[in-house]
Amino acid sequence: MPVTDPRSHAPGTLAIGIFIVYVLVLAVVMVTQGVEPLPDRFAVAMLLGAVILGRGKRFIADWSPFVFLVVSYDFLRGLAPALSGRAHFLTSIHVDQALFGVVPTVALQRLLYTGSPQWWDYAATVVYFLHFVVPLGFAMLLWLRDRRWFAEFVASITLLSYAAWITYVLFPAAPPWMAAQAGHLDGVTRILDKTINVLPDRLDLPSVYRSLDPNPVAAIPSIHAAYPFLVLLFAVRYVGRRGLLVALYVAAVWWAIVYLGEHYATDILVGVVYSIAAFLAGPAAVRALSRLRIPRMLGGSGRPDIPDRPRVRSMT
């Protein structure tokens, strides 16, 4: 297993395997130590990995715009709590009942929630807090293998994020736990409030997110559902059937966010639609910008006489 691919000077299978383990261990350590893996914190951790692989300067050049876009999106999202005064509480409840005959969050909590956190409650909490870890880690893997792939994924996740933000502004929707607190839904507990209490006190690590307030009425579409589904679509596109392994993680996330009371099943369905649209639009946007010769974030060489490295897609 080569550390570096001699044909492309990209890290080889061994190096990428080590990086995957590094990301997973880092995510678990951060969550268990009470450090929320926010994008700016995780980007610093990935920069360390890039430096070890000899790509520190390129990482800063390629990733700075992406991290800025992600942080800017969450900053804008954090400005929207004032919308909670006109939040929609009943739409998702009615749609869930029409589609499934019951609100899935209510059914799952009646079946599994005992009133005090069990191991599956903590497992769902960990999965929930991998919200930024998985898409950023996946973007890092794409960046290590082919910067063009990275550019396409970045374009798609950026379009997805800002399309979701516009929706939050136009149609602020309350999650199940908030609907329950407002008296619109019976039998729902915000389980995160119970599980987070057992985690260690959060370390006082720097983060621009300290100044941001979370938006409680950003339920439709569910970005927690949309991000992993977008990762699944790109994984299948680039590595073929092996990418379907990501579907296990997607299923875990969807179960977790519904069970924890953070989203309705309807929110997930809308998130899937947004993901598919972004999956189609992102690469098209990259191709359009490439024709305008805007190279650095697009994985190209920046010179018309030097073609990009051909993309090789494994369909095994």
| Separation between Cα atoms, residue 314 and residue 238, nearest integer Å | 7
pLDDT range class, residue 314, cuts 50, 70, 90: very low
For 188-227, the pLDDT digits (tens) are 999 998 988 776 555 555 454 554 556 677 889 999 999 9
Q: What angle do CA 90, 94, 99 make, to 5 degrees?
A: 150
10 inside domain = no
Closest to 136 (Cα-Cα) out of 206, 229, 202, 66: 66
Question: Are 228 and 139 a contacting pair, CB within 8 Å?
Answer: no
Please indicate, yes or no, if residue 315 is contained in any of the structural domains. Answer: no
3 domain-assigned = no
Q: Which has more pLDDT, 49 or 111?
A: 111
Q: Which residues contact 137 (CB under 8 A, 6 or more apart)?
A: 20, 23, 27, 46
**Among 51-60, 169-178, 265-274, where is mean pLDDT lowest?**
51-60
pLDDT band at 7 (very low <50, low <70, confident <90, very high): very low
63: its two tokens: 């990733």
Tokens of 310: 């051909």
Query: Rounded distance, CA 225 to CA 276, Å?
Result: 12
pLDDT for position 313:
46
Flag whether 274 is in a domain: yes
User: CA 228, CA 243: separation in Å to the nearest integer?
Assistant: 12
Confirm whether 21 is domain-assigned. no
Greater pLDDT, 65 or 206: 65
The whole-angstrom separation of Cα 244 and Cα 53 is: 28
Which range has the top average pLDDT, 7-11, 61-65, 203-207?
Answer: 61-65
Instruction: Please tell me the distance from the alpha carbon of residue 41 to that of residue 129, in angstroms, as a whole number.
Output: 13
> How large a percentage of the chain has pLDDT more than 70?
76
pLDDT tens track for 143-179: 888 889 999 999 999 999 999 988 988 888 999 999 9
Domain that holds residue 163: 66-298
142 versus 68: the higher-pLDDT residue is: 142
pLDDT at 30: 72
Q: What are phi and psi of 217, to 5 degrees?
A: -115, 40
- Residue 128 inside a domain? The answer is yes
Q: Is 23 domain-assigned?
A: no
E strand intervals along the chain: 4-5, 10-11
Residue 52 domain-assigned (yes or no)? no
What's this model's pTM, rounded to 2 decimal places?
Answer: 0.81
Look at the chain and report how many structural domains it folds into.
1
pLDDT at 169: 84
Mean pLDDT to the nearest integer, 232-238: 95
- Which pLDDT score is estimated for 29? 72
- Condensed to tens digits (0 to 9), the pLDDT of residues 103-112 reads 999 999 999 9
Name the band, by pLDDT with cuts 50, 70 and 90, for residue 124.
very high
What are 105-109's contacts with CB under 8 Å, separation 24+? Answer: 105/176, 105/185, 105/188, 105/258, 105/259, 105/261, 105/263, 105/264, 106/176, 106/185, 106/186, 106/187, 106/188, 108/255, 108/258, 108/259, 109/187, 109/188, 109/189, 109/191, 109/259, 109/261
Instruction: Give 252's contacts (C-beta < 8 A, 6+ positions apart).
Output: 127
